[in-house]
Homo-oligomer: A and B are copies of this chain.
């Protein structure tokens, strides 16, 4: 009844980062036994000693309790410290790798490997202790008249040890807080070490990663490939989820009885949903380094960003189907339709909340002059972005999805209203947060392979999962590419399709979804398979990407337009605005001139996916010319063109300081309102009228902002961070670049 090994809880390696994660705690996952590492075995002895030495009065219980609390706090600190040191080690090793130009292992792969090593050490070096638990029953005659278990239990601890007199003050009442359901009462001996509440991922780790992904989408090419990206992300992910779900269900049913009986179709479908989203961090880093075709880059990035959002909503809908709508777990039309409507309504409402909050921030920054105080402005930006997440969560929508679209809107509108200082600051902050969060989650994937107690290895399932995941990716890519190619102007070549297929690494989102619910055997088997798929794809597939690119003869260094625009920009900056470029670009330029460090150096800036995408503001005149020449581009999707038109006519004039103003685009009857929504700054700047015709490029927006800023006397300070690789190339072969530059303009005109 009352297990009394001396031992310590660590309820808080879970609660460690429990930023509003209680919902998680109450989910069925929660029977968690607690955990300590090797480091607390001595502390254990110490406390035992303490207990033995001190007497047995009530006051001693207090002191022991206090010592235990202190000990817990220390163990948690140590626990976190392990991860912080792990990250620091990863950072240093990444530097070493970059320094020695090791390209076969990306930082996320490194984080996973370090995590695996540390996890193994913690597992095999630690002492196993379980926590004390006691079965209790209500005092007096129990008359339950509530459906729910009570929120807290008050437990009178009667200090009636043999050697203590039963004083009235010896009776203490302790409060116990509801944690969750206990599923496997027998399962006593496993302990959790250095594990976190899975909800931490959804509430703390994923939001900055996803926000940064949105905030740094390479927008021009993103919008140009909008149709393909949406098809891949929404149709493809759903297709892949259902295919994997179906295939896995079939395979599982052929497996031994114990496994097949624990899986329902919903389980395998959930698995399909969680294994479908891709996370091609490694691939994108390599793409960035090698200047792979921008359209391919945009496809891979855009798809991976959006399919995360699709997958989280899809898996939520599947879970809802199982929990609320269908009692049998079998197909029911109404339940299916309700789940379907859930899926769409949650996705689009989350999208709307995110977009609205983004636009609201844009309005705030447009109509106040908070930009005069960059610190206040950055604080406002961060607060508004975070409140988007909270708002979505508070309205039972998906915070991660909201934050993604908020990020996109912030980059598309708000970014243009920000002061130079805030642009840099917000980018750098979210870049750093993203870097830390990414590496944390990947090292945790490694650590948890050994420390998370709910792994369930089944070779058959794992192999099937690997095959199905690959098949799912294939279904996501090839048929849809074929469909898209029917209408698409620059066709997606078969080599590109292979690369898209190959870029289907699995990452943070799959892992977070898998570890969220580990209540049944089926779920635990899925978690193990998912972890292994993530580790395998990140290390092996990520490492082989370079080789694969060469093998598929994907053209590298073809990032023509941006590159040439940038070169153009370099010239104009050099020629006309000698002191207008800021520290970072300076650093690069001089880096090039210094000639040290070589290729390796540039990677830090390029490594985190789409780093350079926001770095293409262009000095006013150059961009004006460039945009003028580019307006005849035929490459845009129809969807993008319609949206671009609306965006240029109404959204940008409303939300940013860009021209044309609403006075020009709205009907005459709306003039009073339009005047109200147009700032003086917008009216007084020299217009770039041509943009009314056609614009989908953020380079053009930046151009406008540049004009706005220069009138404000601030333009000199704007940041022209130039992709170092391009400059290198430019420096090395100015002639060929100029020829290509000429070719580019020739083509465009």
Contact = CB atoms under 8 A, between A and B. Distances in A.
A293 interface: no
Contacts of A649: none
Contact of A153 (B155, B396, B428): B155
Interface in A565-595: 578-584, 586-587, 590-591, 593-595
Interface in A47-87: 51, 56, 59-66, 68-70, 72-81, 84-85, 87
A687 interface: no
Give the interface centre of A182, A395, A420, A597 by most chain B CB atoms within 10 Å. A182
Contacts of A10: 22
A7 B151 CA distance: 9
A1 interface: yes
Interface string A172-183: 111111111110
B175 A30 contact: yes
A179 B152 contact: yes
Given A579-B579, A583-B420, A174 B178 contact: yes
Contacts of A646: none
A718 B591 contact: no
Interface in A18-32: 18-28, 30-32
A327 B420 CA distance: 61
Nearest to A47: B148
Interface string A122-135: 00000000011111
Given A21-B12, A382-B432, A596-B712, A584 B133 contact: no
A156 B138 CA distance: 9
A743 interface: no
Contacts of A719: 583
Given A149-B155, A387-B88, A581 B579 contact: yes
A574 to B, nearest CB: 10
Give the interface centre of A154, A595, A597 by most chain B CB atoms within 10 Å. A154
A457 interface: no
A435 B142 CA distance: 52
B151 A34 contact: yes
A190 interface: no
Contacts of A65: 26, 148-149, 181
A68 B428 contact: no
A425 interface: yes
A11 interface: yes
A255 interface: no
Contacts of A368: 92, 95-96
Nearest to A152: B133
Contacts of A237: none
A386 interface: yes
Contact of A78 (B75, B156, B384, B394): B394
B9 A152 contact: yes
Interface size band for A: 35 or more
Contact of A584 (B16, B148, B380, B717): B717
A81 B390 contact: yes
Contacts of A74: 23, 393-396
A144 interface: yes
A605 interface: yes
Nearest to A375: B604
A161 interface: yes
A298 to B, nearest CB: 23
A24 B63 CA distance: 14
A137 B77 CA distance: 33
Interface in A503-550: none
A471 interface: no
A688 interface: no
B18 A713 contact: no
A378 B583 CA distance: 16
A66 B601 contact: no
Contact of A393 (B12, B64, B73, B595): B73
A121 interface: no
Contact of A387 (B22, B62, B85, B177): B85
Interface string A474-500: 000000000000000000000000000
A613 interface: no
Contacts of A364: 92
B601 A379 contact: no
B175 A179 contact: yes
A157 B144 CA distance: 9
Contact of A154 (B78, B182, B376): B182
Contacts of A713: 590-591, 593-596
Given A91-B380, A436-B382, A590 B81 contact: no
Contacts of A19: 16-17, 80
28 contacts: A4-B146, A8-B151, A9-B152, A20-B79, A21-B73, A56-B147, A88-B387, A91-B370, A91-B376, A91-B379, A95-B369, A131-B151, A135-B156, A137-B139, A144-B157, A144-B161, A149-B172, A172-B181, A176-B177, A375-B435, A375-B604, A379-B436, A382-B432, A424-B424, A428-B429, A578-B578, A582-B586, A583-B583
